Amino acid sequence: MYAIEVDNVTKIYGKGDTAVTAISHASFQVRPGELVAILGPSGSGKTTLLTAIGLINEPTHGRIIVDGVTVADDGWVPGLDLKRIRREKLGFIFQAHNLIPFLTALENVMVALEINKFPSGEAKGRAEQLLKSLNLGHRLGSYPMALSGGEAQRVAIARALANKPRVILADEPTAALDTENGKNVMALLKSLAVENHSAILVVTHDHRMVEGFDRIFEVRDGFIIRETRGAG
């Protein structure tokens, strides 16, 4: 079974003369444990595709299946609790600054667990363990503004992993980082895909960052123009 199935998905923003087709007839699948990149220049439709899979941007046509659940079929499948699917099956990582500024690193991870009905004590233990495994044991009580870019992104990764999601979606996770930190984050994602057996879909415009990915889809103007299999 695939973790993500995208079948002939099209997204058109707006109507009539001002309509913009951001994604056209995209089709692909991602298996659990796979690290997949969507590579393309700015404005090519990468974020649109990722957010459609992330259940926050309704596709106009086509079908999306996440972890066996058909979520979109020419628009959202009616009657689904999208929030619940998001918190149970998906983990999100974005550019920096997506941590909650008034929560410490530890609390930022805990919040994801607590909204998923983890009792507070258990959430704390799990969040701590997760942050320690990402070498952030010394940063548990720090607020996001006190963290470096790399540290903040690792906290965000810990938050995305907290609920052991089947699918992790990352939009330009290295955009705010220098090359070295960026490569570290990508390497971390790679190891997580293998360890946790999650499907990880990473959007980036930076071809230097996609080393070691299992597969790379290149997008131009809304079309997937090429699929490359990585060495890994």
Query: Binders of other proteins: how many residues, by CB under 8 A?
Result: 36
Cβ proximity to ligand ADP, 26 vs 90, nearer residue: 26
Which one among 77, 80, 111, 140 touches other proteins, defined by CB under 8 A? 111
The residue among 143 and 230 lying less far from other proteins, judged by its C-beta, is 143
Among 51, 153, 198, 204, binds other proteins (CB under 8 A): 51
Q: SS3 string of 53-99?
A: HCCCCCCCEEEEEECCEEEEECCECCCCCHHHHHHHHEEEECCCCCC
**Binding region for other proteins (CB under 8 A) out of 37-45, 86-94, 210-218, 220-228:** 86-94
* Least distance to Mg ion, CB of residue 102, Å: 27
> For residue 38, which phi and psi values (nearest 5 degrees)?
-115, 115
Order of strands across the sheet with 90-93?
90-93, 167-171, 199-204, 35-39, 215-220, 223-229
Instruction: State the amino acid at position 132 in one-letter form.
Output: K
Residue indicated by tokens 């996440």? 66
Task: Write out the residues near Mg ion by the rule CB under 5 A.
Answer: 47
Concatenating the DSSP letter of every residue in 149-207 gives HHHHHHHHHHHHHTT--SEEEEESTTTTS-HHHHHHHHHHHHHHHHHH--EEEEEES-G
Which residue in 13, 69, 74, 83 binds other proteins (CB under 8 A)?
83
Looking at the DSSP assignment, which residues form a beta bridge with residue 70?
65
Residues in the chain, total? 232
Residue for token pair 């002939």:
8
- Which residues neighbour 142 within 8 Å (Cβ) at sequence distance 6 or greater? 104, 105, 151
Contact positions with other proteins (CB under 8 A) in 131-190: 143, 159, 171, 175-176
In the complex, the smallest distance separating the C-beta of residue 219 from ligand ADP, rounded to whole angstroms, is 7
Supply the minimum distance, in Å, between the C-beta of residue 20 and ligand ADP: 5
Segment contacting other proteins by CB under 8 A, of 21-29, 72-80, 103-111, 219-227: 103-111
Of positions 6, 39, 46, 47, contacts other proteins by CB under 8 A: 47
Nearest-Å Rg of the Cα atoms of the chain is: 17
Query: By C-beta, is 86 or 215 nearer to other proteins?
Result: 86
Please give the residue ranges that form the binding site for other proteins (CB under 8 A). 47, 51, 54, 56-57, 83-88, 90, 92, 94-95, 97-103, 107, 110-112, 114-116, 120, 123, 143, 159, 171, 175-176
